[in-house]
């Protein structure tokens, strides 16, 4: 079988201080044309303890560290619920242009017209894609967007003198949904999905009342299934004066096909790193724009980007606004990348991205359903969820399969989420993976399944070829080793 995994060179790499030798220098500093001045005698080089290395030692150090990591530029990243799509390098090129990268937020409106126009245009592009009347780019990440949306819902009920105490959250929601609800002072009320893995109108109607502010719906949900009852559910919530919040983290499955505003969702956040091809992970920066209907537009955070004639301005004249979310307007560099992606793809390209994402997920589902157990055997959207039921007879768990995939050269998928499926094994191939890569992945999982029956100990000890082998998961979480 042909797969990307190998047992080739894995370099040992010490800390820079261990490689340091007195007198070595990585750069030749040109002679100074001004007089030198001594540093404060209380502050010496010895106090700083900087390592001293040749250039080649420094370059090899960071190159070797980079080879310990796995990234989207290395191979397939099938993390379900995360949409680890490939980021085209043209987006990075545009964001790195001096005219954009050097813009300072305190430069003043006369000197930032290009940046303001870009943000203004991006908001309208996202409005056209989602169907919302207005969009804010301010939230710094998806979870921040969730909080923003819930603050808007809270402000709406407050304005109407009808503040409420509860919010409905399906069991297939993302884990940050209950946190956002709680931060806004609401109680999270769980709603169980039906036998088909989606919400039923009956379940929502049974718990929806005049003290419920609304519902948070992830659509498609974390089982990779489209909530086809969403219109009826929205009608039930609206009839009791509530609002519908849409978790748009899975927009990569419906972009260009479904406009959330048209199916009854009042407010929704987007993850630019999941749907619009900006960098993902590493702690940020991120971007989680929020779209709203006309009725909720007055509550958007300030400042607002407005166009007056040919000029663009930032205004804070919004008495009902939820206020500022952070110091400036948002993470501008991430916006540039999303803007570049939208312009380079065009409307038809964005739609195709969703179509191929759904096609790839269904291809994996059909290719692996005889190998892994498939709790919901029906057409999926951008992701599909298996579990380890078939392998349990050999005392092999989802974690064992995931660890063994590392030896085959693949990053493992999301495991043990969503919680509604025991031992879940959640795959999202995204639209950017070729059929050849998907076939390699399928062959690897099939080979691991055979190993589960024939040589289970091999899986219990996996990974066996990586720099770091099987870890004590609990100790690794509680006492992480941050050294090489």
Tell me the C-alpha distance between 285 and 62, whole Å. 22
Backbone angles phi, psi at 169, to 5 degrees: -135, 120
Q: Is 232 exposed, middle or buried (0-12, 13-18, 19+ CB in 10 A)?
A: middle
Tokens representing 79 are: 């993390």
In this prediction, residue 186 carries a pLDDT of 97
Cα–Cα distance measured from residue 91 to residue 334, given in angstroms and rounded to the nearest whole number: 9
Spell out the domain ranges in the chain: 90-344
Which positions ≥6 away from 59 have C-beta within 8 Å? none
User: Distance between CA atoms of 405 and 37, rounded to whole angstroms?
Assistant: 58
The reported pLDDT for the residue numbered 50 is: 87
Q: Which residues of the chain have pLDDT under 70?
A: 1, 39-46, 281-284, 483-484
**pLDDT value of residue 46:** 65
User: What is the structure's pLDDT at 437?
Assistant: 96
Q: Which of 203, 181, 202, 182 is nearest to 192 (CA)?
A: 203
Q: How far apart are CA 293 and CA 340, in angstroms?
A: 26
Give me the pLDDT at residue 175, please.
84
Helix H segments across 318-428?
332-368, 398-407
The per-residue pLDDT for 166 is 98
Query: What strands, in cross-sheet order, belong to the sheet with 290-292?
Result: 134-136, 290-292, 267-270, 243-248, 212-218, 166-170, 187-191
The pLDDT of residue 40: 66
DSSP reduced 3-state for 431: coil
Please tell me the class of the 90-344 domain: alpha beta
Neighbouring residues of 156: CB distance < 8 A, sequence distance ≥ 6: 243, 295, 296, 299
> Which single residue is written with the structure tokens 């250039």?
55
Do residues 318 and 300 touch, judged by C-beta distance below 8 A? Answer: yes
| Residue 461 per-residue DSSP state | S
Q: Which residues contact 268 (CB under 8 A, 6 or more apart)?
A: 130, 132, 149, 245, 246, 247, 248, 260, 261, 290, 291
Task: Give pLDDT, residue 468.
Answer: 84
């Amino acid at each position: 079988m042909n797969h990307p995994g190998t047992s080739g060179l894995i370099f040992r790499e010490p800390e820079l201080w261990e490689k340091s030798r007195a007198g070595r220098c990585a750069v030749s500093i040109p002679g100074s044309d001004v007089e030198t001045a001594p540093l404060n005698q209380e502050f010496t080089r010895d106090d700083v303890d900087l390592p001293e290395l040749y250039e080649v030692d420094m370059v090899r150090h960071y190159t070797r560290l980079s080879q310990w990591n796995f990234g989207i530029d290395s191979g397939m990243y099938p993390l379900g619920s995360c949409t680890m799509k490939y980021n085209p390098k043209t987006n990075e090129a545009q964001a790195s242009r001096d005219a954009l990268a050097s813009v300072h937020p305190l430069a003043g409106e006369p000197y930032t017209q290009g940046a303001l126009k870009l943000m203004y245009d991006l908001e309208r592009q996202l409005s056209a894609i989602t169907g919302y009347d207005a969009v804010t780019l301010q939230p710094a990440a998806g979870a921040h967007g969730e909080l923003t949306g819930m603050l808007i819902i809270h402000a709406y009920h407050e304005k109407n003198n009808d503040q409420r105490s509860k919010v409905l959250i399906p069991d297939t929601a993302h884990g940050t949904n209950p946190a956002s609800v709680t931060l806004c002072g609401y109680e999270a009320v769980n709603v169980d999905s039906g036998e088909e893995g989606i919400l039923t109108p009956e379940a929502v109607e049974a718990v929806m009342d005049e003290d419920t502010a609304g519902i948070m719906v992830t659509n498609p949900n974390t089982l990779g299934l489209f909530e086809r009852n969403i219109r009826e559910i929205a009608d039930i919530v609206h009839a009791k004066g509530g609002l519908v919040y849409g978790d748009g983290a899975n927009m990569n499955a419906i972009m260009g096909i479904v406009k959330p505003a048209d199916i009854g969702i009042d407010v929704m956040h987007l993850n630019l790193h999941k749907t619009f091809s900006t960098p993902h992970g590493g702690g940020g920066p991120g971007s989680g724009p929020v779209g709203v209907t006309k009725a909720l537009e007055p509550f958007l955070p300030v400042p607002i980007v407005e166009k007056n004639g040919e000029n663009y301005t930032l205004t804070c004249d919004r008495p009902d606004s939820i206020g500022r979310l952070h110091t400036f307007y948002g993470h501008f560099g991430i916006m540039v990348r999303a803007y570049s992606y939208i312009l380079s793809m065009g409307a038809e390209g964005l739609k195709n991205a969703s179509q191929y994402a759904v096609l790839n997920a269904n291809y994996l589902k059909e290719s692996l359903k005889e190998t892994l157990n498939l709790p919901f055997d029906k057409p999926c959207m951008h992701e599909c969820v298996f579990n380890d039921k078939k392998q349990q007879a050999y005392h092999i768990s989802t974690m064992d399969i995931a660890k063994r995939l590392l030896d085959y050269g693949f990053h493992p998928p999301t495991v043990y989420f969503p919680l509604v499926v025991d031992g879940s094994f959640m795959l999202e191939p995204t639209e950017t993976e070729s059929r050849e890569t998907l076939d390699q992945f399928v062959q690897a999982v099939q080979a691991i399944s055979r190993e589960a029956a024939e040589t289970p100990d091999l899986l219990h000890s996996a990974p066996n070829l990586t720099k770091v082998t099987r870890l004590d998961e609990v100790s690794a979480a509680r006492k992480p080793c941050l050294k090489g």
